[in-house]
Amino acid sequence: MKKVTLLDKTFEVSIPEATINDAISTMAQKMNHDLKGKDVFFIGILNGSFMFAADLFKHIDLNCQITFLKLASYSGNKSTGTVKRLIGINEDLEDKTVIILEDIIDTGNTLDSIIRQLKGYDPAEIRIASLLYKPEAYTKDIKIDYVGIEIPNEFIVGYGLDYDGYGRNLRDIYTLVP
C-alpha cells in the first residue's frame, strides 16, 4: 500500500481516489433527484470540505448557490470537544433548502453546533451531507441525509482532511499506521 509521512506520523492508503469519486457521484445523483424544484444553498464547512464541495458541486444539476463557512474544532488528531463559532454568513438563507457539506462527521459535536447556529437564519430546511462518517464515534441523534463512505473510528488524512494542517492535497485517503 502507498504510504506517506506527515510530521511525525505515517499513513497508508485506505480509500483510493476512484472510490471517493464514485461515492461523490452517487451522492450528487441522489441530491439531484431529492432536491429538484427547491431553492438550494450549499454550505461547505472550511477547511476540510473544500475539495469534496468542489468535486460534488460539479455533479449538481439544481437551482442552487454555494458558500463556505469556517469553524474549527480540531487540533492534532484528537477531537477537542470544544467547538468554535461559525463565521462568514453574509447570504440570505431564509426559506432556502440548506445543505451542509462536511468532509467528515466524527462525534457530531461540530455538526450540532453548526445546525444550532444556522437555524437562526430561518432556512426552510437543513440537510446534512458528509463525504465520510464514523458511526462508532457518532454521539448525536441528528440524521445525516447524505453519507459518502462509512469508515472505522480511525484517524485519516487526505482529500482535504489534515493532520496538523498537512496532507490536505493528497488525492487518496490515508489511515494512520499505529
| Angstrom distances, CA of residue 88 to CA of 33, 43, 68, 91 | 29, 11, 7, 9
* Interacting residue with ligand IMP among 27, 28, 53, 109 (CB under 6 A): 109
Cα angle 167, 170, 172 (rounded to 5 degrees) comes to 125
* Interacting residue with ligand IMP among 68, 121, 155, 166 (CB under 6 A): 155
* Interacting residue with ligand IMP among 56, 86, 96, 108 (CB under 6 A): 108
Report DSSP state, residue 36: T
Q: Indicate the residue among 124 and 177 with the shorter CB distance to ligand IMP.
A: 177
| Torsion, CA 120, CA 125, CA 129, CA 135, rounded to 10 | 80
Q: Indicate the residue among 38 and 72 with the shorter CB distance to ligand IMP.
A: 72
What residue ranges bind Mg ion (CB under 5 A)?
48
Q: Indicate the residue among 14 and 109 with the shorter CB distance to Mg ion.
A: 109
